[in-house]
């Protein structure tokens, strides 16, 4: 089972929410759970990720700034609003991203800059959970450029997942 989640603003008009809607249209949902994160991600994490059995967790977040590529995040930081998320844990955790042998470098960029807010909080917390479970579950966090077409981004994400045998 796969979880694909996206952060949403109160109006559902941000890029990650729109891309999630497009993914729901183009990917069969037989073994995929599509979910929306409203507000702080702690309640979402406790409900959908903690104690879950997803083999792959895909997060979609909004990338702020003037960027044109989808950022594949590789690290999360133990920081949320200048406070540690988990005291006495490492400052950085590498995300357990699945093997991505095939991706288009014209569309995707490898990044290690999650920021220190909601996207980072959920990625760090998810990685702590996956590390504690000590199994072969993966998480893939994608920061999406805000000025791109949602349908185009969804198609590129689907191609990435298919080409790497994740769907």
Backbone angles phi, psi at 141, to 5 degrees: -110, 125
Structural domain harbouring 94:
2-163
- pLDDT score at 28: 85
Domain count, the chain: 1
d(CA 94, CA 75): 4
Pairing of strands 92-94, 2-8: unpaired
Tens digits of per-residue pLDDT, 136-156? 899 999 999 998 999 999 999
- pLDDT score at 12: 72
d(CA 121, CA 117): 6
Q: Which are the contacts of 135, defined by CB distance < 8 A and separation ≥ 6?
A: none
Tens digits of per-residue pLDDT, 35-72? 999 988 899 999 999 988 899 999 999 988 889 999 99
* CATH code of the domain in which 123 resides: 3.40.630.20
Once rounded to an integer, what is the mean pLDDT over residues 96-106?
A: 95
| pLDDT of 10 above 80 | no
């Amino acid at each position: 089972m796969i979880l694909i989640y996206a952060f949403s603003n109160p109006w559902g008009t941000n890029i990650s929410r729109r891309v999630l809607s497009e993914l729901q249209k183009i990917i069969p949902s037989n073994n995929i759970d599509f979910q929306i994160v409203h507000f702080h991600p702690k309640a979402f994490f406790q409900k959908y990720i903690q104690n879950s059995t997803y083999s792959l967790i895909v997060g979609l977040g909004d990338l702020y700034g003037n960027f044109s590529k989808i950022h594949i995040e590789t690290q999360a930081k133990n920081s949320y609003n200048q406070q540690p998320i988990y005291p006495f844990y490492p400052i950085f955790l590498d995300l357990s991203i699945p093997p991505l042998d095939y991706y288009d470098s014209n569309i995707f960029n490898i990044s290690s800059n999650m920021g220190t807010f909601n996207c980072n909080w959920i990625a760090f917390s998810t990685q702590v959970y996956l590390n504690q479970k000590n199994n072969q579950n993966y998480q893939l966090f994608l920061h999406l450029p805000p000025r791109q077409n949602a349908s185009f981004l969804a198609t590129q994400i689907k191609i990435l997942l298919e080409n790497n045998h994740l769907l």
